Structure 1
Amino acid sequence: MPGSGPSRRRVLGYAASLAVFGGGGTTAWQAWADAGEDRREQRLAGVTRTLGRRAAAVLARDARALAATVVPTPGAAELRRRQYQLVANLTQVPLAQWSYRVAALDAYPLPAVVGGGERVAVEVELGYRLTGFDEQPVTATQYLTFERQPDGDWLLAADGDHAGADVQLWDLGPVRVVRGRYSLVLGLREQAVLAAIGAEADQAVPAVSAVWGSGWGQRTVLIVPQSADQFGALLGADPAGFASIAAVTTGELGAADRGRTERITVNPAAWDGLNALGRRVVTTHETTHVATRTQTERWTPRWLSEGVADWTGYLGTGRTPREITPELGAVVAQAGAAAPTLLAALPTDAAFDGGAPGTGLQQAYQEAWFACRSVVERHGQDKLVALYAAVAADGGHDGQDAVLDRALRATLGVGTVRFTEQWRADLLAALRP
């Protein structure tokens, strides 16, 4: 493990040479190991102190104090400037917590440099909470290089020596903030755009609670970047794979993270192409993901999690099944008598990947909506909510298929095979000419 002492190869080689000199070598080996551990603890303590100063400076909005944690060399002028910019970008953000934790020392190989002091590569976990919206911190990974100064202090020397750090909205520009009754919108776009998005979110929260109850935070945090490239950077993904996705909800699965309000990140290009109904449906869909996140587990089928979100999103819009599922309707019409063959099984998890080609992604979502519609039409909406909870509560020890079958039998009285038959029949009855 990097940073935990000498490598296994060095230890074995050194131990072999000590054996030649007899028992006295054991004491020398222990002294060498102890010295290495002491040095590591000193580096950890020094870096931790500096991270504490950085956190305090951010919370105090003290740009000068934050810049003072950077090495005072001419080559670090740009890094120091970015500390001032970070504080400026965070001016409007309501921070209840900002803290750092060292996750690993010697976390990545460092590039060679001429001169300077001893350096250490650190994986850092940033934890922050937004006032009124987070009971538990949201975390992000940073990779920071620190350098020991002549006085023994460890200062930030670089933040770009290792790729893969999580990008936050304030890393991209000055954040504007709009706070609504149930929502907090953080964005880089014009204030009027952010206010309109916040208004949609404030309508979505009570609509979602009407279906899923009040046992969730009943609040949302929306992140609104300026461009598709920024959207991709925030997700750590190629934005081209999400070109048709207007918003994405990110966060941790399961009840263990109940105190965290998950983030809805808006894709500006796709969002701007939506009409008023589309924006309403998308916002309610994503808010449903926030509300159901603590009941969404690794073994929850994607058709169920996306289906309930679409079901809730379209609820009360007055749209017919044909209007809600146009791409699927076209596929069924084109297939004719062969349509049942195309609907042999519920959509797989892979069918919902952002990069799905053509109309495949839309078809998967629409098939999922129909599956949830079948539950509600045959058993009532409360049974759809109960089915979702039953899947989450199962434990998932023997695979997704077995979990789903048990949950269906417990809540609807039918297994997966029979439910699939009902879904297919209901879908074809609604969409066939």
Structure 2
Amino acid sequence: MAAGRRTVLAGGAVALLAAGGLGGAAWHDHRRDQEEDASAAASGSAASAGSSGSAADAEARAGIQRLLDARAAAVLARDQQALADTVPDAAQALRDSQAAMLANLAQVPVASWSYTVQRLDAFPLPPVLTGVGGTDPRRAVQVEFGYRLSGFDSVPVTATQYLTAVRQPDGGWLLSSDSDRPGGAVQLWDLGPVTVVHGRSCLVLGLRGQSTLQAVADQADRAVPAVSAVWGRSWGERTVLLAPLASDQFGRLLGVDPLAYASIAAVTTGELGPAEAGRTERITLNPQVWDTLNALGRRVVTTHETTHVATRAITEQWTPRWLSEGAANWTGYLGTGRTPRQIAPELFADLAAGRVPDALPADAAFDGSATGLPQAYEQAWFACRSVVQRHGEPRLVALYAAVAAAGGSGGQDAAVDSALRRTIGLGLTAFTAQWRGDLLTAARAKA
């Protein structure tokens, strides 16, 4: 998963299906990453521990932070020489890669750029000749990298990087490597020159041609008002989309095996809860799937992902995936003219064969390796459709917010049960029975 606090968020949603006439099979993935939350917490603990270490550690931390501040200032000033001055003369490959990164950023509207030392001696270093007195002059540093995009982030987007700093004879520090420990976050500008397209309410950063990125921006601009029409206008009404050129780049950006995402058209990354209001989620397109979609397919996927951006501040760890993904699919398909049977062909096939689900799909049903993955997404869409058909669309929005407000101390089912009772007057058991009844009624209908 993406390193640092920015994670591939909870869910997994079949945004559209080939059987629906939208192009290639395209799934959305939006998975919660509990491991990342634990990693972030561990990083914070390590940083606190390091700050109370030896005087030598404190001195090294301060010196390395000064080095990182100089690097950040050089990037913001687009000063290639100043950036090169933070790297030893002998590390020519690193100097070259840093110069390339700076050139790749030329069009990106960066408002802030920072590095913060989180932990010293964070990973084992490859052996080298030691310095004077037999000591190793290097320190393995875990760093929190943060940046803001002008007009889109009021607080930084953060990620974890792993760097090696080397002490100089004069006591200063330089960066000697950014590759001694694999697993740090990869940004789009690490992969090639970034082309930027500014939409009315979106920013598209890509490694693809201008015309391709403009088409993405046009679709994103149409998605924003469509989502606001359902979810209101308090979410910022802006999106940032990343468009890598190849599936391996998609995998590197997210820190995942691209083969495991071979049917996924787009992924939204970010943080759960209201703290996310200050930044705009990143929607990353998977070119291997995106390029197979027709215009309607791209519309559904983009609107689905934009819904996740709009609802992120009211999505919590206890929000069930059937609700978050069903709501996004409900919004994605609005106004498309698709019938329930076209939107949920696998589900209706199961119903015709007498396979009626006993319960709303569990979170695990949305995992990429789960059996019956399309049905899980279709069942989730139908559950949200049931709320809207019986109680109106505002009640679906109210239900979503009520689940977040319920808190997770009593568990997911308790939060959902409480929210359902407050918004539509039914508990979870009664709502599930009603949903099953609506499925059977729809299965008997001809349309």
Give the TM-score normalised by structure 1: 0.89
**2:254 is matched with which residue?**
235
Determine which structure has more spread, i.e. the larger CA radius of gyration: 1
Structure 2 residue 273 is matched with structure 1 residue 254: yes
**1:215 is matched with which residue?**
234
Structure 2 residue 87 is matched with structure 1 residue 70: yes
Residue 162 of structure 1 deviates from its aligned partner by 1.1
CA–CA distance in structure 1, aligned partners of residues 61 and 86 of structure 2: 16
**1:137 is matched with which residue?**
156
What residue identity is the alignment partner of 1:102? V
CA–CA distance in structure 1, aligned partners of residues 361 and 429 of structure 2: 14
What residue identity is the alignment partner of 1:348? A
Q: Is the partner of 2:221 in helix, strand or coil?
A: helix
CA–CA distance in structure 2, aligned partners of residues 187 and 207 of structure 1: 24
Structure 2 residue 76 is matched with structure 1 residue 59: yes
Structure 2 residue 38 is matched with structure 1 residue 38: no
**2:30 is matched with which residue?**
none
What residue identity is the alignment partner of 1:86? M
- Residue pair 1:321, 1:431 contacting (<8 A) in 2 also: no
Structure 2 residue 327 is matched with structure 1 residue 315: no
> Are residues 4 and 384 of structure 1, via their aligned partners in 2, closer, same or farther at CA, if it must alter by over 3 Å?
closer
**2:304 is matched with which residue?**
285
**2:406 is matched with which residue?**
394
**1:350 is matched with which residue?**
364
**1:332 is matched with which residue?**
351
What residue identity is the alignment partner of 1:108? F
**2:435 is matched with which residue?**
423
CA–CA distance in structure 2, aligned partners of residues 404 and 427 of structure 1: 20
What residue identity is the alignment partner of 1:183? C
Residue 330 of structure 1 deviates from its aligned partner by 2.1
Residue 238 of structure 1 deviates from its aligned partner by 1.2
CA–CA distance in structure 2, aligned partners of residues 5 and 407 of structure 1: 41
Q: Is the partner of 1:258 in helix, strand or coil?
A: helix
**2:94 is matched with which residue?**
79
Residue 318 of structure 1 deviates from its aligned partner by 1.2
**2:382 is matched with which residue?**
370
Residue 3 of structure 1 deviates from its aligned partner by 9.0
Q: Is the partner of 2:382 in helix, strand or coil?
A: helix
CA RMSD of aligned residues (A): 1.7
- Residue pair 1:4, 1:37 contacting (<8 A) in 2 also: no
What residue identity is the alignment partner of 2:330? W
CA–CA distance in structure 1, aligned partners of residues 249 and 370 of structure 2: 21
Q: Is the partner of 1:156 in helix, strand or coil?
A: strand
- Residue pair 1:328, 1:367 contacting (<8 A) in 2 also: yes
**1:97 is matched with which residue?**
112
CA–CA distance in structure 1, aligned partners of residues 292 and 139 of structure 2: 47
1:365-384, Cα deviation, whole Å (9 max, x unpaired): 11100000000011110100
CA–CA distance in structure 2, aligned partners of residues 107 and 253 of structure 1: 27
> Are residues 108 and 372 of structure 1, via their aligned partners in 2, closer, same or farther at CA, if it must alter by over 3 Å?
same
- Residue pair 1:2, 1:106 contacting (<8 A) in 2 also: no
CA–CA distance in structure 2, aligned partners of residues 44 and 230 of structure 1: 33
- Residue pair 2:130, 2:137 contacting (<8 A) in 1 also: no
Matches within 5 A, 1:260-279: 260-279=279-298
Match of 1:414 among 422, 426, 435: 426
- Residue pair 1:5, 1:37 contacting (<8 A) in 2 also: no
- Residue pair 1:134, 1:260 contacting (<8 A) in 2 also: yes
Residue 4 of structure 1 deviates from its aligned partner by 8.9
Structure 2 residue 136 is matched with structure 1 residue 155: no
Which portions of structure 1, spanning 4 or more consecutive aligned residues, are displaced by more than 6 angstroms? 1-6
Residue 232 of structure 1 deviates from its aligned partner by 1.1
Per residue, is there more helix in 1 or in 2?
1
What residue identity is the alignment partner of 2:127? A
1:274-331, Cα deviation, whole Å (9 max, x unpaired): 1111100000000000000000000000000000000000011111100111122222
Structure 2 residue 132 is matched with structure 1 residue 113: no
**2:21 is matched with which residue?**
none
What residue identity is the alignment partner of 2:79? D
> Are residues 381 and 110 of structure 1, via their aligned partners in 2, closer, same or farther at CA, if it must alter by over 3 Å?
same
What is the aligned-residue identity percentage?
66
What residue identity is the alignment partner of 2:77? A
Give the TM-score normalised by structure 2: 0.86
Q: Is the partner of 1:184 in helix, strand or coil?
A: strand
Structure 2 residue runs without a partner (length 5+): 1-44
Structure 1 residue runs without a partner (length 5+): 7-33
- Residue pair 1:129, 1:137 contacting (<8 A) in 2 also: yes
- Residue pair 1:242, 1:355 contacting (<8 A) in 2 also: no
